[in-house]
């Protein structure tokens, strides 16, 4: 009997040891968890191991590290489809705004391998398109630094040059580009046949084409006709920037196109002014414009509104310029539309940049969700996470594990205080970080803790087809 009893005790002990759950790498405890895919909106704890979410539960979890999220909102990490710059500096700014994955999909790059190699060991996840603009610049040997300023802007490509542009874009697709990028106003001399060839590549490869269209209704009609003719997936960047006073009409046009079966999506950023390089062809129309029109431009380093004389002076120097061509009502129409994703169009150049680089996502949460109540919190989070992930998922398998909170998803998480979150950056002080973004986690590693950057970590991964 004693031997039997001892065997039973040992058996029970072994059984208990077998069911003891392993210690998790990280636990986010007792936060209000929002998942736009499942609709979950309740207090839960999240367990993370090996860079993945392994449990979402109302039970108590034990981890090597625990973040107490009581009173805070826990969401998928924000995904920014439109972020220029993509440097260690801008990654730090964006992480503090809750961004865990940033893409450069409008301008893109002409060198996919080189672009990813230069960002190895980054703070946040990152990806890029093969860009028509830089490819055209390379083929036509344009001397522009970022945007074309000579032949690639102002000369029609020859048949041989179009062939080379097509070959380079196809090569970029083979090398794992997340999408194709294009900017019609920056390459105004590109013929319809050249643009049609770019759309044909997108259609044949089923790659979304992220396009900065020409302004207004006519520009949208041009892009939609190219997409309809080729059946290419089309994403219209910053609808509020290109739409201006026609934003509402253009959103209705996109809705109609979707109802006809076109694969077309769009995005918006929550600021009434844009920014671009003053030397770009996009601003050629200001060269002989009236004083009233030129005064829509602001030189951010001094805050001065430009005159025809100062416009010509600064155009010789080069640098970013603020463009005050939109209104708050038009921005609100774009941000609040169920069609739009939130994307920053972040811009940063040698210490000067747009406040959207540092405050886009916090601004939406603070000004549109909490103060304006024009967006529900769940709708805002969907625009920042699930919708951009779904836009790329057909091309980029890694995006199927981002933008949602479920077991098996990547542990990219943003944790914020809904009562405090707000942007602080301005056109004169664009580097001011937001408040209320408490913790940010990339692939299971905290990169922001208690609203401060974590030093010595680089968990960001390349988001690339085939990686």
- CATH number, domain of 149, equals 3.20.20.140
Q: Give the gyration radius of the chain's Cα atoms.
A: 24
Lowest mean pLDDT among 28-37, 190-199, 318-327: 318-327
What pLDDT is stored for residue 21 in this prediction?
Answer: 61
With a cut of 50, say whether residue 264 has pLDDT above it: yes
Judge whether 459 lies within some domain.
no
Tally the domains of the chain. Answer: 1
**Confidence band, pLDDT 50/70/90 cuts, at residue 349:** confident
Q: 326 pLDDT band (50/70/90 cuts)?
A: confident
- Give the integer Cα–Cα distance in Å for 375 and 367: 10
Question: pLDDT at residue 166 above 60?
Answer: yes
The predicted-structure confidence for 198-244, as pLDDT tens digits, reads as follows 999 999 999 999 999 998 999 999 999 999 999 999 999 999 999 99
Give the number of other Cβ atoms within 10 Å of residue 258's Cβ: 14
In a domain, 333, yes or no: yes
- pLDDT digit string (tens) for 121-153? 999 999 999 999 999 999 999 999 899 999 999
Query: What integer pLDDT is reported at residue 95 of this predicted model?
Result: 98
Cα 155 from chain centroid (whole Å): 31
Evaluate if residue 2 carries a pLDDT over 90. Answer: no
> Mean per-residue pLDDT for 287-308?
93
Q: Tokens 């056109």 — which residue? A: 427
Share of the chain above pLDDT 70, in %: 95
pLDDT at residue 3 is higher than 60: no
Is the torsion defined by CA of 90, 96, 102, 105 positive or negative?
negative
Tell me the HSE value of 206 on the side-chain side, using a 13 A CA sphere: 7
Report the chain's mean pLDDT, rounded to a whole number.
Answer: 94
In a domain, 374, yes or no: yes
Domain membership of residue 54 (yes or no) is: no
Q: Which residue has the higher pLDDT, 12 or 103?
A: 103
pLDDT exceeds cutoff 50 at 97: yes
What digits encode the pLDDT tens for the residues 43-69?
999 999 999 999 999 999 999 999 999
The residue among 116, 104, 118, 101 whose CA lies nearest residue 442 is 101
| Position 197 in a domain | yes
With contact defined as beta carbons under 8 Å apart, do 119 and 382 qualify?
no
Task: Confirm whether 204 is domain-assigned.
Answer: yes
Residue 352 pLDDT grade (very low, low, confident, very high; cuts 50, 70, 90): confident
pLDDT, residue 11, reads: 45
Is a pLDDT exceeding 90 seen at residue 12?
A: no
What pLDDT, on a 0 to 100 scale, did the predictor assign at position 434? Answer: 98
Say if residues 240 and 326 touch (Cβ distance below 8 Å): yes
**pTM, 2 dp:** 0.93
Which range scores top for mean pLDDT: 14-23, 48-57, 287-296? 48-57
Helix (H) or strand (E) holding 256: helix 247-259
Give the tens place of pLDDT for each residue, 377-394: 999 999 999 999 999 999
Question: Quick check: is 439 in a domain?
Answer: no
Domain for residue 241, yes or no? yes
Q: Name the residue range of residue 107's domain.
A: 79-272+326-407
The whole-number pLDDT of residue 4 equals 43
Q: Please give the average per-residue pLDDT across 105-112, as a whole number.
A: 98
Task: Report the distance separating Cα 202 and Cα 112, nearest Å.
Answer: 17
Whole-number pLDDT of residue 457: 98
Output the pLDDT for position 17. Answer: 42
Separation in Å, CA 98 to CA 55, 76, 432, 438, 439: 22, 9, 14, 9, 8
Res. 8 pLDDT band, cuts 50 70 90:
very low
């Amino acid at each position: 009997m004693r031997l039997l009893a001892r065997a039973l005790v040992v058996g029970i002990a072994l059984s208990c040891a077998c069911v003891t759950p392993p210690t998790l790498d990280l636990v986010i405890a007792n936060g209000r968890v929002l998942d736009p895919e499942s609709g979950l909106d309740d207090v839960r704890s999240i367990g993370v191991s090996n860079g993945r979410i392994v449990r979402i539960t109302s039970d108590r979890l034990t981890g090597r590290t625990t973040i107490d999220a009581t009173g805070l909102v826990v969401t998928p990490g924000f995904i920014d489809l439109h972020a220029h710059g993509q440097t260690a500096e801008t990654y730090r700014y964006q992480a503090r705004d809750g961004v865990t994955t940033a893409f450069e999909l409008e301008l893109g790059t002409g060198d996919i391998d080189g672009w990813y190699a230069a960002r190895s060991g980054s703070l946040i996840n990152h990806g890029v398109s093969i860009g028509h603009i830089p490819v055209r610049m390379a083929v036509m040997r344009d001397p522009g630094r970022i945007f074309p300023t000579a032949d690639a802007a102002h000369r029609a490509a020859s048949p041989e040059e179009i062939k080379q542009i097509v070959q380079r874009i196809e090569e970029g697709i083979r090398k794992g580009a997340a999408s194709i990028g294009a900017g019609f106003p920056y390459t105004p001399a590109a013929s319809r046949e050249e643009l049609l060839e770019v759309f044909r590549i997108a259609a044949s490869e089923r790659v979304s084409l992220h396009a900065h269209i020409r302004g207004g209704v006519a520009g949208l009609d041009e892009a939609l006709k190219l997409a309809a003719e080729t059946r290419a997936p089309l994403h219209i960047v910053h609808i509020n920037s290109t739409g201006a006073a026609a934003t509402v009409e253009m959103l209705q046009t996109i809705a109609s196109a979707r109802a006809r079966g076109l694969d077309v999506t769009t995005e918006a950023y929550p600021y009434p002014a844009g920014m671009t390089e003053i030397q770009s062809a996009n601003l050629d129309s200001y060269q002989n414009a009236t004083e009233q029109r030129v005064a829509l431009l602001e030189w951010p380093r001094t805050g001065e509104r430009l005159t025809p004389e100062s416009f010509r002076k600064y155009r010789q120097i080069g640098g970013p310029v603020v463009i005050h061509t939109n209104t708050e009502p038009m921005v609100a129409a774009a941000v609040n539309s169920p069609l739009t994703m939130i994307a920053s169009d972040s811009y940063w150049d040698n210490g000067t940049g747009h406040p959207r680089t540092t405050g886009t996502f916090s601004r939406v949460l603070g000004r549109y969700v909490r103060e304006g109540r024009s967006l529900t919190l769940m709708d805002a989070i969907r625009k920042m996470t699930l919708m951009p992930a779904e836009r790329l998922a057909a091309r980029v398998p890694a995006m199927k594990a981002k933008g949602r909170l479920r077991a098996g998803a990547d542990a990219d998480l943003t944790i914020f205080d809904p009562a405090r979150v707000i942007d602080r950056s301005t056109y004169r002080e664009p580097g001011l970080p937001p408040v209320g973004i408490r913790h940010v986690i990339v692939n299971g590693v905290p990169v922001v803790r208690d609203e401060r950057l974590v030093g010595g970590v680089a968990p960001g991964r390349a988001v690339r087809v085939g990686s």
